[in-house]
Homo-oligomer: A and B are copies of this chain.
């Protein structure tokens, strides 16, 4: 054979799929990579002004030592090792496991067969039944297991729907600004047109239907075929929780404009003002709508996940979406696409079952389950308030309270010297600020520019997930950093 004179690679940044190149995803961007480096260097004994890296950049509770819910892990581990369910081991296993965990595992194994088998592409039928029952109890309206798809986390379900909605590059999807960057990243990947609408920071990141109407009208005038509205409720990165009244307006808007409603509801149990702002699902908002035609027509897809709430089982990649009023031929296409990926991982499916059907009063595990959930919940609420107060104490920083989710999204007024300095470095000003924060305090957040924000404003997103006993230390480091940063740049 002859040797090529100069072997130029086939795959280069110039030759690969241009849509992939267009994808941006800030959550695991440069700052996260720098944070990993710092962690490594600290371990190796390098000196920094801080003793640990505090990951506030990603909603990954168990990475920050949030303990898993015991019952969930008990059932899942029994399913994983069916030898433990054999009669001859009962005398030992019953000393390690409560009886309801054993019973539940046996019941699940009956419908699953083996966690090592591909399941039905749409998810184990009995688990979809459990999800349907959960939705019914939550909303007071029935759900159809055949319209429920189990997924590997909410993200993969969102991507399935966004891909399906993209007929061509003119297909438009309304997304909030600020938004979780999965949406902009996926639209870039599928080559659809993002149609941004703005959440109103001054009124607690509320959603104004008048503005939605302006946005869709303008986009359609410009020729975009607007097809769907994405709502993240409770909000990511903004933490707001919509009122039922607002949701009815949104449902009416979608119906009138003939667009699909995609409701990202993964933070539905992360609700910190349950009296004033309880969570209402869009399924309920739709079924509560006074006009029958709306209830029977509006296409709604709602996403949920085992990664958030008090569960935080991110690493298992489990979730589901429910389709309401979708055309049956479209459901068939969704099923076909699920089949190409064979099935969602069965361990994730098991956790979806457990999330939707936790221990009930009277069950042996109920009291400890309840206590674990409440203790995580109360602690999260305290931490959200504490961090919000810290941010609001800082000069030039304003922070809306988190009504829900796991995030705060404070606005920072940056001195013009900082803005200029960032420009010189070809960085967004809030990325410059956040990097300085990381280098000074070890606290890793994500710049607002990764989520989108009103032109000329600067933000960052911070989780409030670090362990409570670390708060005093890193919060005072944050306050000191901010003061120094402002002084240095004034």
Contact = CB atoms under 8 A, between A and B. Distances in A.
A62 B116 contact: yes
A337 interface: yes
Given A81-B77, A164-B16, A339-B25, A117 B228 contact: no
User: Which of A70, A299, A314, A346 has the most chain B CB atoms closer than 10 A to its own CB?
Assistant: A314
Interface string A111-155: 001111111010000000000000000000000000000001101
A200 interface: no
For chain A, give the interface size range.
35 or more
Contacts of A74: 81, 83
Interface stretch (A255-263, A384-392, A419-427, A473-481): A255-263
A68 B79 CA distance: 12
A312 interface: yes
Nearest to A59: B118
Interface in A1-29: 1-4, 7-13, 15-18, 20-21, 23, 25, 27-28
A391 to B, nearest CB: 25
A182 interface: yes
Contacts of A293: 3-4, 7
Nearest to A290: B1
A93 interface: yes
B164 A20 contact: yes
B20 A163 contact: yes
A342 interface: yes
A440 interface: no
A165 interface: yes
A153 B342 contact: yes
Contacts of A61: 116
Nearest to A2: B256
A230 interface: no
A83 B167 CA distance: 50
Interface of A: 1-4, 7-13, 15-18, 20-21, 23, 25, 27-28, 58, 60-63, 68, 70, 73-74, 76-78, 80-84, 89, 92-93, 95-96, 113-119, 121, 152-153, 155-156, 163-167, 182, 185-186, 189-190, 227-228, 252, 255-256, 258-260, 291, 293-294, 297, 299, 307, 312-317, 325-327, 329-330, 333, 336-337, 339-348
11 contacts: A10-B260, A11-B260, A15-B227, A20-B336, A115-B315, A117-B314, A118-B315, A155-B340, A185-B340, A315-B345, A317-B342
Given A17-B163, A60-B118, 20 more contacts: A4-B256, A7-B255, A7-B293, A9-B299, A10-B260, A17-B166, A17-B167, A62-B113, A62-B114, A63-B114, A70-B83, A73-B81, A73-B83, A89-B96, A92-B96, A116-B312, A116-B314, A118-B314, A314-B342, A315-B343
